[in-house]
Structure 1
Amino acid sequence: MQSSDSKIERIIDGVLARMSNGTLRAGDRLRSIREEATVMNVSKNTVVEAYLRLVARGVLIARPGSGYYVSRTSARKKGPALPAILGARPVELLTEQLERRLPIRPGDGRLPPDWLESPEMRRPLSVMRMSADDTYNTAWGFLPLRERLCGTLAERGIQCQPGQVLTTYGGNHGMDLVIRCYIRPGDAVLVDDPGYYPLFWKLGGAGARIVGIRRHHDGPDLEDLSEKARLTGARLFFTQSLAHNPTGGSITQGTAYGVMKVAEEHDMLIVEDDPFADILPYTAPRLAALDQLNRVIYIGSFSKTLPGSVRIGYIAAAPELAQELNEMKVISIISTSAQNERLVHSLIEGAHYLKYLRRLHDRIHEATAQTVHGLENVGFSVPRPLSGGFYVWIPLTPTMQERDLVTEAAQEGIFIAPSVAFSTSDSPALGMRVNIAHGSDPRFLEWLARIAH
């Protein structure tokens, strides 16, 4: 069930979107409180609160006995038109995730900030932030946290010792360290396609030759992987086995076994990114569990489940690889945050994190069901089984494939993430990643239904 604050923000976002796309102009009267409550299926008190917040921001003015009107100064406060600054290039999409200029956000990569707060976490976070010291961390990271992570990994079927685990500033930093250590200009590197576009930038910046491996809902295409490993001589394959970004699929046990056979045959290292592990089953198929960190470098993270200011990730690898990666960590940033790592360790040990994850898991499950129902109601198919992560994937209809959807959506205040951003190919199979926290928004679904025909 939506919180009252979420309902208020939905009304605020709707007003701002109508102003952005020109439906509402300076001086226009808004719908009455009763009308807005009926349209948005909320109470009149919720509408009053939303309108008053917009008055406080200078967006609306209240005229007693008449209603609420768009302020005539609002138009002068607008920046550049959104379609002029938002396109389908990955850098623009990632920038929009940080700047949050568009109010309707099915293209987001993260959950809404208010989802990452709960009664179980709010007070422990504030108390520990106030009490934590600012001493330098050890090179490898806070030892009690690394010891606890070894226990967590053992539950996932991955056996390791603290000397095989180093902490990072999130999963992206873990990828950076692997790239710095093991990739030189001109090296062929295999990646999921569609796949994680920030990784593509990192590899491009290192001068790597990026080779896409077709990604199906149940994992990498084994024939494509084997053929391209043979032809390119690649020694690294970056993949996300579970709750895949962007397709939302997860690898099956048989496909995971096939990937490891290809890696052994062609003497490849596999970098397995597992950012959603804490909300997924321990028993889900993981390459690192099959391989036991022989040729798999495993990257985990708390950055998807904790607030963005707590950026903690980790790498688990064979002892000699972990040593090399940790030396690169020291050379590049010296150490990670002792305060944040102590904080996360305390949350885990105090069971605050476990209680919070249970609530978050239920909320994700409910939102996924609502998003799938909404998408299928307007004529889009969603692949099964559902992974339990943040995303589902929908193919585009033929009438949608020739249009500049990113710009068209931005004109209506909608942020989307199309397949072109996630592919190494110039002509990918067209689809769209949908964040389950925003996928059931009626304004997004109405826009999808309208442009699909």
Structure 2
Amino acid sequence: MPAPPMKIEFVINSILMQMRAGSLRPGQRLPSIRDEAQRLGVGKNTVVEAYLRLVSQGVLHAKPGSGYYVVDTPAPAARAPGIPFAAAIGRVSLLTEQLDRRLPVRPGDGRPPPEWLETSELHRYLSYQRFQEADSYNSSWGHAPLRDRLCGALAERGIACSNDQLLMTHGANHAMDLIIRRYVSAGDNVLVDDPGYYPLLAKIALAGANAIGIQRRHDGPDPADLAAKAKASGARLFFTQSLAHNPTGGSITFGTAYAVLRAATEYNLLIVEDDPFADLLPYTAPRLAALDQLDRVIYIGTFSKTLAGSFRAGYIAAAHDLAHDLNELKVITTVSTSAHDERLIFQLIENGHYLKHLRRLRTRAIKASAESVAALESLGLTIRRPIEGGFYLWVDLPEHMAGDDLVYDAARSGIFIAPAANFSSKPDPPAAMRINIAYGANPVFLAWLRVKLSNK
């Protein structure tokens, strides 16, 4: 069976990173195929293909009976003095690295590995399916059959929603951007989970507003902290992710959800609830939108965590007047969303391919989560329980592992990490790290982490 293309690129990038960092020099022999396969957690055929490609590129040369040797070192990427290659410092660079994928070992990534999607029923369907060309722009609200189907999915989650309350967006980030543009002015105070979703913090800053962090416990936002800060700040908007929280992985309980809604009612808060893992989670899981029925909750859904990254498709469900306001703003700013993507998603759902894909994705996530937890706990780290079905683990670190130096050191080893500073509205949060379950048991990452933990 041919080696997966993404795994081959992973091995190639790992070698090139070592060459840029100077740990592999001209004339130096590479590890044996078996040793490199074991180090990177891939198959031997994958390493063979990677070595051969680098030979064809003139980077390596093979000596029969001896192995593979470095013959050339690529020029290092341009960067400021003293800053390692591709170190993801700050929220913008953290997001950029998730798009450009320069570092080969990726525990800090926010997305599932591409091969989780490429080898699924979904990928096989996409490879052969052909769709009729659209002869005009999409409806301003989005593809009507898909919106009807999504209203049905929301009903299964306990959220009553009619077709004129749901508008399609270019993903969850576009949905948040629309809400901020419509309801946030420069100088406003906006309440957010802390730790919380880092692109949201960047959007609030771009609007000239102030993000005020609400302590995020493993069972949801701290209701007492929410009430106190809503009263003191005069904020009218609270962004939260109730289930499989990014970055901590925890989920809200019914008791906490009721307390959050009581505080929202008392202090006239509009709540924005992001639910990116909805299709992987139980319909009966506690959701603020289900308890509130879109009275003071705006609900955001997306396909970005379950479909290929090139699908930029999400949606907003809200009270009638809010939905119409947001859709009008969408038309002014982006005209419409993609009819092609929305028709494709609808066909995937209607034909049963999306359901098959979700079953496989859940199985992969459960297996990877168990492996990552076991590997990290073997290093003496504590993983919070329960783990609620998303892609993230939140790991508290010793104080000596705080600061940007850790990110630089990881990047020099070809490792992409996501430390706590990116997820907090506070200037100096306690040392911690978000870890993607798909990469938490990577042997290169674990070896690096073991050294860092021991260097007290």
Native 8 Å contact 1:163 1:322 kept in 2:
yes
Correspondence for 2:115: 114
Distance in 1 (alpha carbons) for counterparts of 2:36 and 2:212: 51
Q: How does 1:358-373 map to 2 (within 5 A)?
A: 358-373=359-374
Residues 317-352 of structure 1, C-alpha deviations (whole Å, 9 max, x = no match)? 011111111111111111101111100000000000
Matched, 1:18 2:18: yes
Q: How does 1:310-325 map to 2 (within 5 A)?
A: 310-325=311-326
Q: How does 1:141-156 map to 2 (within 5 A)?
A: 141-156=142-157
Deviation at 1:395, TM superposition (A): 0.5
Deviation at 1:42, TM superposition (A): 6.2
Aligned length in residues: 451
Native 8 Å contact 2:167 2:327 kept in 1:
yes
Residues 89-130 of structure 1, C-alpha deviations (whole Å, 9 max, x = no match)? 111111111111111111111111121223421243244455
Correspondence for 2:169: 168
Distance in 2 (alpha carbons) for counterparts of 1:380 and 1:62: 42
* Mean Cα deviation higher: 208-217 or 385-394: 208-217
Distance in 1 (alpha carbons) for counterparts of 2:221 and 2:443: 34
Native 8 Å contact 1:297 1:317 kept in 2:
yes
Alpha carbons of structure 1 residues 94 and 451: separation in structure 2 relative to 1, 3 Å: same
1:131 aligned counterpart, secondary structure: coil
Correspondence for 1:446: 447
Matched, 1:213 2:251: no
Distance in 2 (alpha carbons) for counterparts of 1:41 and 1:246: 25
Deviation at 1:240, TM superposition (A): 0.5
Deviation at 1:56, TM superposition (A): 3.0
Task: Look up the equivalent residue of 1:15 and give its one-letter code.
Answer: I
* Mean Cα deviation higher: 379-388 or 198-207: 198-207
Deviation at 1:195, TM superposition (A): 0.7
Deviation at 1:78, TM superposition (A): 5.4
Distance in 2 (alpha carbons) for counterparts of 1:401 and 1:187: 30
Alpha carbons of structure 1 residues 402 and 306: separation in structure 2 relative to 1, 3 Å: closer
* Mean Cα deviation higher: 80-89 or 389-398: 80-89
Matched, 1:336 2:337: yes
* Mean Cα deviation higher: 40-49 or 424-433: 40-49
Residues 245-295 of structure 1, C-alpha deviations (whole Å, 9 max, x = no match)? 111111111101110000011111100001111111111110000001010
Alpha carbons of structure 1 residues 87 and 352: separation in structure 2 relative to 1, 3 Å: closer
Distance in 2 (alpha carbons) for counterparts of 1:388 and 1:303: 16
Correspondence for 1:196: 197
Distance in 2 (alpha carbons) for counterparts of 1:42 and 1:324: 50
Deviation at 1:75, TM superposition (A): 3.2
Correspondence for 2:31: 31
Distance in 1 (alpha carbons) for counterparts of 2:146 and 2:212: 36
Q: How does 1:32-431 map to 2 (within 5 A)?
A: 32-36=32-36, 44-72=44-72, 74-76=73-75, 80=79, 83=84, 86-128=87-129, 130-401=131-402, 404-431=405-432
2:74 aligned counterpart, secondary structure: helix
Deviation at 1:403, TM superposition (A): 6.5
Distance in 1 (alpha carbons) for counterparts of 2:63 and 2:288: 63
* Mean Cα deviation higher: 129-138 or 229-238: 129-138
Native 8 Å contact 1:269 1:297 kept in 2:
yes
Q: Percent identity?
A: 59
Distance in 1 (alpha carbons) for counterparts of 2:388 and 2:143: 32
2:18 aligned counterpart, secondary structure: helix
Alpha carbons of structure 1 residues 234 and 108: separation in structure 2 relative to 1, 3 Å: same
Distance in 1 (alpha carbons) for counterparts of 2:450 and 2:189: 41
Alpha carbons of structure 1 residues 328 and 131: separation in structure 2 relative to 1, 3 Å: same
Alpha carbons of structure 1 residues 45 and 188: separation in structure 2 relative to 1, 3 Å: closer
Distance in 1 (alpha carbons) for counterparts of 2:350 and 2:180: 33
Task: Look up the equivalent residue of 2:144 and give its one-letter code.
Answer: L
Root mean square deviation of aligned Cα: 2.1
* Mean Cα deviation higher: 214-223 or 60-69: 60-69
Residues 121-140 of structure 1, C-alpha deviations (whole Å, 9 max, x = no match)? 12432444553435210111
Deviation at 1:187, TM superposition (A): 1.5
Distance in 1 (alpha carbons) for counterparts of 2:331 and 2:360: 37
Task: Look up the equivalent residue of 1:100 and give its one-letter code.
Answer: R
Distance in 2 (alpha carbons) for counterparts of 1:36 and 1:188: 51
| TM-score, normalising length: structure 1 | 0.94
Distance in 2 (alpha carbons) for counterparts of 1:250 and 1:390: 13
Native 8 Å contact 1:113 1:307 kept in 2:
yes
Native 8 Å contact 1:129 1:339 kept in 2:
no
1:241 aligned counterpart, secondary structure: coil
Alpha carbons of structure 1 residues 306 and 132: separation in structure 2 relative to 1, 3 Å: farther
Distance in 1 (alpha carbons) for counterparts of 2:233 and 2:177: 22
Distance in 1 (alpha carbons) for counterparts of 2:422 and 2:42: 36
Residues 63-90 of structure 1, C-alpha deviations (whole Å, 9 max, x = no match)? 2333211122x33475558616525211
1:152 aligned counterpart, secondary structure: helix
Distance in 2 (alpha carbons) for counterparts of 1:91 and 1:195: 15
Deviation at 1:192, TM superposition (A): 0.5
Alpha carbons of structure 1 residues 200 and 19: separation in structure 2 relative to 1, 3 Å: same
| TM-score, normalising length: structure 2 | 0.94
Alpha carbons of structure 1 residues 379 and 403: separation in structure 2 relative to 1, 3 Å: farther
1:404 aligned counterpart, secondary structure: helix
* Mean Cα deviation higher: 353-362 or 119-128: 119-128
Distance in 2 (alpha carbons) for counterparts of 1:211 and 1:33: 51
Deviation at 1:13, TM superposition (A): 4.4
Task: Look up the equivalent residue of 1:149 and give its one-letter code.
Answer: L
Native 8 Å contact 2:39 2:443 kept in 1:
no
Native 8 Å contact 2:117 2:123 kept in 1:
no
Task: Look up the equivalent residue of 1:52 and give its one-letter code.
Answer: L
* Mean Cα deviation higher: 241-250 or 115-124: 115-124
Structure 2 residues not aligned, in runs of 5+:
none
1:315 aligned counterpart, secondary structure: strand
1:385 aligned counterpart, secondary structure: coil
Deviation at 1:11, TM superposition (A): 4.0
Distance in 2 (alpha carbons) for counterparts of 1:134 and 1:261: 48
